[in-house]
Amino acid sequence: MPTHAPVIGVSSCLMHADTTNRKNIFNGKPLLYAEQSMMHYLLGAGAIPFLIPTRPTASAGYPKVPSVQDILGQVQGVVIVGGVDMSPGNYGEAPLKPEWSGDPIRDAYEMELIRTALGMDKPVLGICRGYQVLNVTLGGSLYQDINTQVKGSLVHRDATIYDQNFHDLEIVPGSDFERLYRADKRRRINSVHHQAIKDLGQGLVVEARCPVDGIIEAVRLEHFGGAGAWARGVQWHPEFMVGFDESLMSPWPIVEDFLQAVNDRRKPKASTP
């Protein structure tokens, strides 16, 4: 068993170039960044996180750019983080409102990371938006707005109170997620999303739902083209729950299970005689 900490690639949040001079930060230059809570969450679990950059093109003046495979070859697992909406065009729909058009540039970047990581047998953990990107990458779709499209739904995102918006969780009996939380009887999570899984992606199974409106809150990859790839996604933000409130579910089983999958793949392969 390797003794050094696993290296985890974290998808970048994108701030695109601003030509209107409205952004008073870095003079409107494009940024790749991460939320501190996510990086500390992974560090706190014993991993070493690094941001995965977007790739420039040769036409933009960069002649020698490593492939996504080369980049992911330097990490043992991948986390796809939260952020802005996905573009509905990724699942064959037009935006119901202009403000739900999403970020197709970030979509393409993260979907390529997921496809490549799964093909390389690198475990993938999707958080909030990352969970939705995982689903869409595998052929699923999303509700563009829960309260518009799901009758009787809870308010899953309240911008005023943000990560202090909570609801209960219902774990599917007999699921792998039930195994993770057998020792933790708390079933309360944060909720900061207005979109959610509608049609499930290929190979994914539901592991938890909101008990009030049935919104899917956790999924696991059961099969991937016959290969043993590992992926899990949760709709909430466990990294926001560290040290937050004793009534909430522990954030640690999710990341610890992910890192166990990473470490299982780092073990030396037994040689055949």
What is the tens place of the pLDDT at every residue in 10-37?
A: 999 999 988 776 667 888 889 999 999 9
Fill in the DSSP letter of residue 154: -
Q: Which of 125, 129, 126 is nearest to 261 (CA)?
A: 125
pLDDT class of 4 with cuts at 50, 70, 90: confident
d(CA 110, CA 53): 10
- Predicted pLDDT of residue 165: 93
Domain 7-264 has CATH 3.40.50.880: yes
Distance CA(150)–CA(259), nearest Å, equals: 35
| 273 vs 114 pLDDT, higher one | 114
Work out whether the CA dihedral 70, 74, 77, 83 comes out positive or negative: negative
Q: Is the pLDDT of residue 272 over 60?
A: no
pLDDT of residue 176: 96
Domain ranges of the chain: 7-264
- What are the tokens at 82? 């939260």
Q: Pick the residue with more confidence: 25 or 234?
A: 234
pLDDT computed for residue 270 by the predictor: 55
Per-residue pLDDT at 51 exceeds 60: yes
pLDDT tens-digit profile of 151-207?
Answer: 999 999 999 999 999 999 999 999 999 999 999 989 999 999 999 999 999 999 999
What is the average pLDDT across 112-140? Answer: 97
Model confidence, pTM: 0.94
- Confidence at residue 1, expressed as pLDDT on a 0 to 100 scale: 42
What is the average pLDDT across 223-234? Answer: 85
CA separation for the pair 220, 254 (Å, rounded): 11
Instruction: Kindly tell me if the per-residue pLDDT of 127 is higher than 80.
Output: yes
Q: For residue 213, is pLDDT > 90?
A: yes
pLDDT at residue number 57: 79
